[in-house]
Structure 1
Amino acid sequence: MRHQELLDAVIDGIQRVEDLARILGISPSTVRRGLAELEQAGKVVRTHGGAVPSPTGGELSWTQKSRRHAAAKRRIAAYAADLVADDHVVLLDAGSTTTFIAERLASRFGPTVATNGLGPMTALHDAEGVELIVLGGRVRRRRGSIVGDYARGVLDRLTADIAFIGADGVVPGRGINCPSPELAAIKELQMRSAREVVVVADSSKANAAEHHYWAVAPGPHVLVTDDGIGDEDARTFDADPSCRLRVVATAGDPITPAATD
C-alpha cells in the first residue's frame, strides 16, 4: 500500500478505518499500520476508529490554492478563455486556474464544457449559454476533483476541441506533476481526448516536482504561464520540441500575451 493513497483518502473525507479498508481494497490492520506511520510523519491525527488530516500535514485545498498567485492565474485564464470558440467542445480539468477559465466562459453562448472539477462545475451550473457535462466518479473534496473509472466512459466517447489542464508542477520532457496516480490518470485521459492540449500553470509551477506522480502529455501542447517565469526556466520549455510556451503579462491587457516560440 502506498501511504500517499491512504493520505489522499483521509484528506478526501474517508476517515474511518473500515471505510478506508473497503475503498482501498486492503485489510483494516494494514490501514491502522499506515495511519500510525502517517501520524508519526505529522500527516494525520489519529481519532477513535480512524484519522483526520493534520492541520499542517495535508495538501492545500483547491479554494486555498485559488488565493495563491490569484492575479497571475486570472490573467492566464483570460488568455485561455479567449482560445475558445462559441462552437467548441472544451475539457476543463479540476483546479483553481481552470475555475477562473470557467468563470470567463460562463457569459458565453454556445460552448460545451466537460469537467471533472467542482470549481468549474460551480462556476458554470447557472450558465444558460453553456452545455455542461460533468465527468462521473469519486469526489476528492479537498482537491475539488472527480476521479475514477467512471470518467473513462465519458472521455472514451468524447473528442474535445481543446483541453485546459491544471498542474501542481510542469517539467519539460517529464510531464505534469500530480499528488496521486488517480489525478495523473484523469489528466492523461483528458489530454488524449482533445485535439489541442493547453496546460495552464502559473510561473511558480515551472520545473516544480513536489509529488511522486506524473501525467505525460501525449503529444504537442501549449503551456500558458505568466511573466514571473525565470529566463532559465523559459529556456528549458523553449528547448522542448513538444511544448509551445505562451507567457502572459501580469500587468496591462490580460488578453494580449507575450509569446515565445
Structure 2
Amino acid sequence: MRHQELLDAVVDGVHRVEDLARALGISPSTVRRGLTELEQAGKIVRTHGGAVPSPGGGELSWAQKSQRNAAAKRRIAALAADLVEDDHVVLLDAGSTTTFIAERLAARSGPTVVTSGLGPMTALHDAEGVELIVVGGRVRRRRGSIVGDYARGVLDRVTADIAFIGADGLLPGRGVNCPSPELAAVKELQMRSAREVVVVADSSKLHTGEHPYWAVVPGPHVLVTDDGISDEDARAFDADPSCRLRVAATAGGPITPAATD
C-alpha cells in the first residue's frame, strides 16, 4: 500500500478504519499501521476508530486553489475557450483553470461538455445552451474530481473534439504531474479520448513535479500558459516537437510560485 493513497482517501472524507480498508482493498491492520506513520509525518490526526486530515497537512481544496494565480488562470481560460467551436464535444478535466474554462463556455450555445470535475459541473449546471455529461465514479472531494472504474467506463465510450487537461506540474517529454495514480489514469484516458489535447497550466507549474505520479501525454498537444513563463521554459517547450506553445497575456500582479491545480 502506498501511503499517498491512504492519505488521499482520508482527505477525501473516508475516515473510519473499516471504511478505509474496504475502499483500498487492504486489511484494517495495514490501515492502522499506515495511519500511524502518516500521523508521525504530521499528515493526519488519529481519532477513535479512524483519522482526519491534519490542519494544514492536506492539500488545498479546488475552491482554494482557484484563488491562486487567478488572473493568469482566467486569461488562460479565455484563450482556451476560444478554441472551442459551438458544435464541439469537449472534455474538461477537474481543476481550477478548467472551471474557469467552463464558466466561459456557460454562455455558449451548442457545445457538449463531458467532465470529471465538480468545478466545471457546477459552472455549467444552469447553462441551458450546453449539453452537460458528468462521468460517474468516486468523488475526491478536496480535489473536486471523479475517478475510478465508472469514470473510465464513460470515457472509454467518448470521442471528443478537444480535451482540456489541468496540471499540478508539467515537464517536456515527461507529462502531467499528478498526486495519485487514479488521477493520472483519468487524465491519460481523457487525452486518448480526444482528437486535440490542450494542457492548461499557469507558468508556476512549468518544469515542476512534486508528486510521484505522471500522466503521459500521448502525442501532439497544445500548452496554454501565461506570459509569466521564463525564457528558459519557453525554449524548452518550444523544443519539444510534440508541443505547440500558446501564451496568454496576464492582467494583474505577479504570479504566485508553486500553485497547484
TM-score, structure 2 as length reference:
0.95
Give the aligned partner of residue 222 of structure 1.
Answer: 222
Give the aligned partner of residue 109 of structure 2.
Answer: 109
The one-letter code matched in structure 1 to 2:76 is: I
Deviation at 1:79, TM superposition (A): 0.4
1:128-152 Cα deviation digits (max 9, x unpaired): 0000000110000000000001112
The one-letter code matched in structure 2 to 1:139 is: V
Deviation at 1:240, TM superposition (A): 0.7
Number of positions where the alignment pairs a residue of Structure 1 with one of Structure 2? 252
Give the aligned partner of residue 48 of structure 2.
Answer: 48
Q: Secondary structure, in 3 states, of the residue corresponding to 1:83?
A: coil
Q: Secondary structure, in 3 states, of the residue corresponding to 1:157?
A: coil
- Structure 1 stretches of at least 4 aligned residues deviating more than 4 Å after TM superposition: none
Give the aligned partner of residue 29 of structure 1.
Answer: 29
C-alpha separation between the residues in 2 aligned to 1:91 and 1:116? Answer: 8
Give the aligned partner of residue 38 of structure 2.
Answer: 38
Q: Secondary structure, in 3 states, of the residue corresponding to 1:67?
A: coil
C-alpha separation between the residues in 2 aligned to 1:228 and 1:15? Answer: 40
Give the aligned partner of residue 159 of structure 1.
Answer: 159
1:164-183 Cα deviation digits (max 9, x unpaired): 00000000010000000000
Give the aligned partner of residue 249 of structure 1.
Answer: 249
Deviates more, 1:55-64 or 1:243-252: 243-252
Give the aligned partner of residue 258 of structure 1.
Answer: none
Deviation at 1:60, TM superposition (A): 1.1
Deviation at 1:251, TM superposition (A): 3.1
C-alpha separation between the residues in 2 aligned to 1:239 and 1:44? Answer: 42
C-alpha separation between the residues in 2 aligned to 1:174 and 1:49? Answer: 40
1:5-33 Cα deviation digits (max 9, x unpaired): 00000000001000000000000010000
C-alpha separation between the residues in 1 aligned to 2:243 and 2:59? Answer: 28
C-alpha separation between the residues in 2 aligned to 1:40 and 1:23? Answer: 23
C-alpha separation between the residues in 1 aligned to 2:41 and 2:249? Answer: 40
Give the aligned partner of residue 80 of structure 2.
Answer: 80
Which structure exhibits the higher relative contact order, with contacts defined as CA atoms closer than 8 Å and separated by 6 or more residues?
Answer: 2
C-alpha separation between the residues in 2 aligned to 1:235 and 1:201? Answer: 16
Give the aligned partner of residue 169 of structure 1.
Answer: 169
The answer as to whether partners of 2:72 and 2:251 remain within 8 angstroms in 1 is no
Give the aligned partner of residue 194 of structure 2.
Answer: 194
Give the aligned partner of residue 90 of structure 1.
Answer: 90
Aligned alpha-carbon RMSD (Å): 0.8
Give the aligned partner of residue 71 of structure 1.
Answer: 71
Percent of counterpart pairs with the same letter? 88
Q: What does 1:118-197 correspond to in 2, within 5 Å?
A: 118-197=118-197
Deviation at 1:156, TM superposition (A): 1.5
The one-letter code matched in structure 1 to 2:24 is: L
The answer as to whether partners of 2:71 and 2:251 remain within 8 angstroms in 1 is no
1:96-152 Cα deviation digits (max 9, x unpaired): 000000000001000000000000000001000000000110000000000001112
Unaligned runs of 5+ in 1: 253-261
Give the aligned partner of residue 232 of structure 1.
Answer: 232
Unaligned runs of 5+ in 2: 253-261
1:176-196 Cα deviation digits (max 9, x unpaired): 000000000000000000000
1:58-108 Cα deviation digits (max 9, x unpaired): 111101100000000000000011110000000000000000000000010
Deviates more, 1:53-62 or 1:158-167: 53-62
Give the aligned partner of residue 206 of structure 2.
Answer: 206
Q: Secondary structure, in 3 states, of the residue corresponding to 1:238?
A: helix
TM-score, structure 1 as length reference:
0.95
The one-letter code matched in structure 2 to 1:223 is: L
Deviation at 1:155, TM superposition (A): 1.3
